[in-house]
């Protein structure tokens, strides 16, 4: 790891807290810690200032030696922590070991990698370092490499994604770990000192984004939201309460108003410097003004995509895109939501470009079902199965829009009138499909259809469908999931491509790849020897 890792992981915070305590309580600290050197403290006679006391008693040398001893102890603790914090990358796992007294060992299987994120807080960016997070497939399963120099983090991220894709590291990797551990440590220290002096931020060199969001549009989109309505209602309640009640009511709502203000600032700063671009290993998404996060989504890791538009955005033609994906974070992690929004606000052209990055396997003949018939629908000859007229009371505004469409590749769920939404669910990523019917639904002859995918912000249910349409969609979706899953190879998306060793000096030690990385398993079903007919792409 980077030699500044212990300081950035907690030492800097401890130093700041210690400085605040010493600055505010230094008289009491001298009274508690130096009674032997200052007997008059026990009598309640404190000097005007401990610094003046040290100068007047010629104790400057002792004080400097005490400070030096404290610094030496801290450096020793930091060096031990850095020495025992190691990682390695094999053909199968990313492993991290840390701890001196209490050892921790974590692994992330490469064939379950859902993404690799590079996070650079403000202080870390000034020092030219960042933390790499390998996103796992379970709850609280992420493996963090914190901290690495930015150049090393970019190279290691490329190596992890290359091994996860099914490729092997090239033969030039033989020079990756030349020398002893002492020489490697000296090289890391040298790189760390160089980054400390230069403040190198090489992570800002990102591929060209396919979407550019003006700051004015971003701020306006946050103001034109449901949160603003809640804030206006809160302000109205404050004004009415202060008129009919006591003026002190104003002070009870101040924390809530400050909370709304913090939400607006945080949501805008997180979305600034947004970019999304195609990469050989997937899709690169970068966002954040102060703390910059750069995440790479490998192919096949997006389980659901939803395009949304509120009625406030409709005059401007703005939409947002959210996804369901495995984040590897615990349910209590408040930062998990920031990885679900892949387009904060964009025009139709922006939405189409982002969808083509997130759904590269969607065939060209399915794209009219996304915008023309989906988001902007219904149109003439609507292919979606919708709510019948007899049940319009359950969907008074959106009964013509509310519906689903199934193709051999994806399930489309269209809903909403005031808040329009279209969910796209690749069949290869769906776990199952469900159908439900309550007592009122049975009276009206309607049912609800649900796509079962990983949990997230995307709505996975469309309700009040014609019963026969829902049953047909249930059966056809179940068959389509089996067929799509059988032909899915996205977990090793580059196993059949030739090896390409990245440019630049490699960092990792060469390892021998097992046979299953270069060839499919023995029990894999072989493709038929004779040509077969193309699948029927008629939407159902």
Lowest mean pLDDT among 19-28, 130-139, 194-203, 397-406: 194-203
| pLDDT value of residue 240 | 78
Comparing CA positions, the residue from 260, 258, 222, 257 lying closest to residue 238 is 257
Distance CA 290, CA 270 (A): 8
Lowest mean pLDDT among 47-61, 170-184, 358-372: 170-184
- For 32, residues 6+ apart whose C-beta sits below 8 A from its C-beta are none
Q: How far is CA 494 from CA 285, 403, 490, 525, in A?
A: 21, 36, 8, 19
Evaluate whether 86 touches 97 at the Cβ level (below 8 Å): yes
For residue 120, the number of C-alpha atoms closer than 13 Å in the C-beta half-sphere is 27
Sign, CA dihedral 115-121-122-128, equals negative
| pLDDT value of residue 431 | 92
Distance CA 505, CA 251 (A): 60
Beta bridge partners of 130: 148
Looking at every residue in the chain, the average pLDDT score rounds to 78
**24 pLDDT tier (thresholds 50, 70, 90):** low
Helix (H) or strand (E) holding 69: helix 60-83
Distance CA 206, CA 241 (A): 51
110-119, 324-333, 385-394, range with greatest mean pLDDT? 385-394
- Mean pLDDT calculated for residue range 500-512: 40
Evaluate whether 114 touches 326 at the Cβ level (below 8 Å): yes
Distance CA 257, CA 337 (A): 22
Comparing CA positions, the residue from 392, 437, 386 lying closest to residue 415 is 386
Comparing CA positions, the residue from 424, 135, 480, 484 lying closest to residue 304 is 424
Distance CA 501, CA 167 (A): 10
Distance CA 471, CA 449 (A): 9
Lowest mean pLDDT among 29-33, 56-60, 400-404, 498-502: 498-502
3-state secondary structure of 143: strand
SS3 content of the chain, % helix, strand, coil (to 5): 45, 20, 35
Comparing CA positions, the residue from 430, 432, 411 lying closest to residue 422 is 411
Given a cut of 80, whether residue 150 has pLDDT beyond it is yes
Q: What is the residue whose two structure tokens read 């190879």?
A: 489
Comparing CA positions, the residue from 8, 382, 417, 415 lying closest to residue 195 is 8
The DSSP symbol for 129 reads E
**344 pLDDT tier (thresholds 50, 70, 90):** very high
| pLDDT value of residue 398 | 92
Evaluate whether 85 touches 1 at the Cβ level (below 8 Å): yes
Q: How far is CA 397 from CA 131, 147, 313, 494, in A?
A: 48, 52, 18, 47
The DSSP symbol for 374 reads I
For residue 223, the number of C-alpha atoms closer than 13 Å in the C-beta half-sphere is 6
Instruction: Name which residue leads in pLDDT, 450 or 538.
Output: 450
Comparing CA positions, the residue from 107, 112, 105 lying closest to residue 90 is 107
DSSP secondary structure letters along 418-430: SSEEEEEEEGGG-
| pLDDT value of residue 525 | 41
- Mean pLDDT calculated for residue range 179-183: 53
- Mean pLDDT calculated for residue range 167-182: 49
| pLDDT value of residue 413 | 96
Evaluate whether 211 touches 354 at the Cβ level (below 8 Å): yes
Query: Could you tell me whether strands 93-98 and 104-109 are parallel, antiparallel, or unpaired per DSSP bridges?
Result: antiparallel
Per-residue pLDDT tens for 455-500? Answer: 888 999 999 999 999 999 999 999 999 999 888 877 666 654 444 4
Evaluate whether 460 touches 411 at the Cβ level (below 8 Å): no
Q: What is the residue whose two structure tokens read 């892949």?
A: 342
**189 pLDDT tier (thresholds 50, 70, 90):** low
Per-residue pLDDT tens for 408-463? Answer: 999 999 999 999 999 999 999 999 999 999 999 999 999 999 999 988 889 999 99
- Mean pLDDT calculated for residue range 286-300: 86
3-state secondary structure of 327: coil
| pLDDT value of residue 52 | 67
> Tokens for 58?
């010629």
Q: What is the residue whose two structure tokens read 């021998």?
A: 512
**335 pLDDT tier (thresholds 50, 70, 90):** low
Distance CA 374, CA 383 (A): 9
Per-residue pLDDT tens for 191-233? Answer: 554 544 444 444 445 578 889 999 899 999 988 988 888 888 8
Q: Starting from the edge strand earliest in sequence, which strands make up the sheet with 410-415, in order?
A: 341-346, 319-324, 304-309, 420-426, 410-415, 403-406, 385-386
pTM: 0.75
Given a cut of 80, whether residue 250 has pLDDT beyond it is no
Phi-psi region of 179 (alpha: psi -120 to 50; beta: other; left: phi over 0): left
**106 pLDDT tier (thresholds 50, 70, 90):** confident
- For 377, residues 6+ apart whose C-beta sits below 8 A from its C-beta are 384, 401, 414
Q: How many residues does the chain have?
A: 540
**520 pLDDT tier (thresholds 50, 70, 90):** very low
């Amino acid at each position: 790891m980077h030699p500044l890792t212990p300081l950035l992981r907690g030492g800097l915070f401890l130093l700041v807290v210690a400085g605040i305590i010493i600055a505010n309580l230094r008289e009491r600290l001298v009274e508690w810690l130096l009674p032997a050197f200052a007997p008059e403290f026990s009598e309640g006679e404190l000097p005007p200032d401990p610094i003046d006391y040290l100068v007047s008693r010629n104790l400057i040398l002792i004080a400097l030696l005490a400070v030096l001893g404290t610094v030496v102890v801290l450096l020793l603790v930091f060096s031990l922590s850095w020495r025992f914090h190691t990682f390695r990358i094999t053909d199968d796992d990313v492993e991290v070991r840390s701890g001196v007294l209490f050892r921790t060992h974590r692994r992330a299987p490469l064939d379950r990698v859902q993404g690799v994120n590079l996070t650079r807080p403000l202080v870390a960016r000034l020092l030219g370092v960042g933390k790499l997070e390998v996103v796992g497939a379970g709850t609280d399963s992420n493996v963090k490499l914190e901290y690495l120099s930015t150049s090393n983090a970019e190279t290691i991220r490329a190596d992890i994604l290359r091994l996860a894709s099914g490729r092997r590291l090239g033969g030039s990797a033989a020079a990756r770990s030349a020398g002893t551990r002492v020489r490697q440590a000296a090289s890391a220290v040298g790189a760390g000192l160089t980054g400390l002096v230069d403040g190198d931020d090489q992570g800002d060199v990102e591929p060209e984004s396919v979407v550019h969001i003006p700051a004015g549009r971003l701020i306006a989109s946050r103001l034109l939201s449901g949160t603003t309505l809640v804030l206006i209602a809160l302000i109205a309640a404050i004004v009415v309460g202060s008129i009919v009640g006591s003026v002190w009511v104003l002070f009870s709502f101040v924390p809530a108003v400050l909370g709304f203000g913090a939400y607006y600032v945080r949501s805008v700063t997180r979305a600034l410097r947004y970019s999304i671009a195609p990469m050989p290993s997937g899709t690169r998404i970068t966002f954040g003004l102060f703390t910059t996060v750069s995440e790479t989504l490998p192919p096949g890791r997006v389980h659901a995509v939803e395009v949304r538009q509120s009625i406030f955005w409709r005059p401007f033609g703005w939409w947002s895109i959210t996804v369901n994906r495995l984040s590897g974070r615990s349910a209590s992690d408040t930062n998990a939501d920031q990885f679900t929004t892949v387009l904060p606000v964009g025009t139709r052209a922006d939405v189409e470009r982002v969808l083509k990055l997130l759904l590269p396997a969607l065939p060209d003949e399915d794209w009219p079902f996304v915008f023309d018939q989906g988001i902007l629908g219904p149109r003439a000859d609507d292919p979606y199965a919708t709510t019948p007229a007899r049940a319009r009371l359950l969907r008074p505004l959106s009964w013509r829009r509310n519906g689903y469409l199934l193709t051999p590749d994806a399930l489309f769920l269209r809903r909403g009138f005031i808040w329009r939404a279209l969910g796209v669910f690749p069949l290869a990523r769906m776990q199952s499909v469900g159908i439900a019917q309550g007592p009122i639904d049975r009276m009206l002859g309607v049912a609800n259809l649900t796509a079962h995918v990983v949990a997230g912000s995307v709505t996975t249910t469309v309700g009040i469908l014609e019963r026969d349409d829902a049953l047909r969609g249930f059966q056809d979706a179940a068959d389509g999931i089996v067929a799509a899953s059988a032909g899915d190879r996205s977990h090793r998306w580059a196993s059949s491509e030739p090896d390409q060793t990245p440019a630049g000096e490699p960092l990792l030690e060469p390892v021998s790849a097992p046979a299953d990385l270069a060839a499919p398993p023995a029990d894999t079903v072989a493709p038929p020897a004779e040509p077969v007919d193309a699948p029927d792409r008629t939407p159902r």
